[in-house]
Amino acid sequence: MMNTSRRIPPLHASVLSLLLALPAGAQAAETPQHLRLGYDVYVGGLKMGRMTLETDIKGDDYRVSVAAEAGDMLARLIKWSYTAEAEGTFGGVHGVAPRHFHSLRTLRDKSWDATLSYTAPYGARDTAVSFTQTPAPSPEDANAVPMDQRPGTVDLLSAAAAISRHAEGGDCASRLPVYDGRRRYDVVMESRPGRHIEKSDYTVFEGDAIGCHVAIVPVAGFKPAGRGSQNFWTAAPDGKPRGFDLWIGRPVPGGPVVPVRLEAGELFFTHVIGHLAQVEVVPPRP
């Protein structure tokens, strides 16, 4: 694997968080509001790992967390893990008003602890965003996104929550401005034909699903793709946004819609499929 420290962790840590998005919505109090979802990711037909996503919604407040690690086969080549959590309130100009985001990424014997903080007024076009990381980012990374392009953006997990809530209406068309501390990009969702998914050894979901296409549109901080380094976080040679297809359904009766399947061909230079493999309704906290 070439340039592993820059390619695989950002891929799992950021893109898959969005691919598998998160449930959100304004359901009635008696419907499930706290879900734990498990997704199995296959690359070229081989299982590469599992990502667990958890969302807790109380009124207009949300808290979203993600945990991922390499599967057995990949773990033999690379010791890697990622955890992240975002919290905020539904509303504002982009549908979500994040207040705090924190992530921890480990690779072999190294770790990166990162935080995005937001300053009131939350959810506005001029909401200030600050980024800190331990160890400190290089000057190149720290200045990759101009200061005037950071206000009013959201973190990737909050963007996922906003998109899933929007999809409750049966349509996934939306656009969210994201700043992750190193890059600035727009997540653009477009509607696609739906499909019926059958329950199988790979997925626990069965039923109709809404079709969506997700595109990552670079704004700032993206390096030109070089030989062996083409992924979601490099600018494509043809200038076109990189993307993937996503299907969204409702696995829990009365509960929120969640992504149930993804397909992508640009992640590892081969076909990638993500299946919803586990759904757990978590009892509400006291």
Predicted confidence (pLDDT) per residue in 11-44, tens digit: 444 444 554 444 444 343 456 568 899 999 888 8
pLDDT value for 119: 94
pLDDT value for 238: 77
Q: Which two tokens stand for residue 17?
A: 């968080």
Residue 55 CA to residue 227 CA, distance in Å, equals: 38
pLDDT (tens digit, 0 to 9) for every residue of the chain, 286 residues total? 333 333 333 344 444 455 444 444 434 345 656 889 999 988 888 888 888 988 888 889 999 999 987 766 565 667 788 999 999 999 999 999 999 999 999 988 899 999 999 999 999 999 999 999 999 999 999 999 999 999 999 999 999 888 888 888 888 889 999 999 999 999 999 999 999 999 999 999 999 999 999 999 999 999 887 766 666 677 877 778 888 899 998 888 877 788 899 998 765 566 889 999 999 988 876 6
pLDDT value for 224: 82
pLDDT value for 193: 92
Cβ proximity of 152 and 184 under 8 Å: no
State which H helix or E strand residue 81 sits in.
strand 80-90
Secondary structure E strands in 93-154: 96-107, 110-118, 129-134
pLDDT value for 286: 62
pLDDT value for 221: 93
pLDDT value for 80: 80
Predicted confidence (pLDDT) per residue in 172-219, tens digit: 889 999 999 999 999 999 999 999 999 999 999 999 999 999 999 999
pLDDT value for 228: 60
Q: Are strands 207-220 and 184-197 parallel, antiparallel or unpaired?
A: antiparallel
Question: What SS3 state is found at 177?
Answer: strand
Q: Which two tokens stand for residue 196?
A: 């019926």
User: DSSP label at 113?
Assistant: E
pLDDT value for 48: 80
pLDDT value for 3: 39
pLDDT value for 34: 83
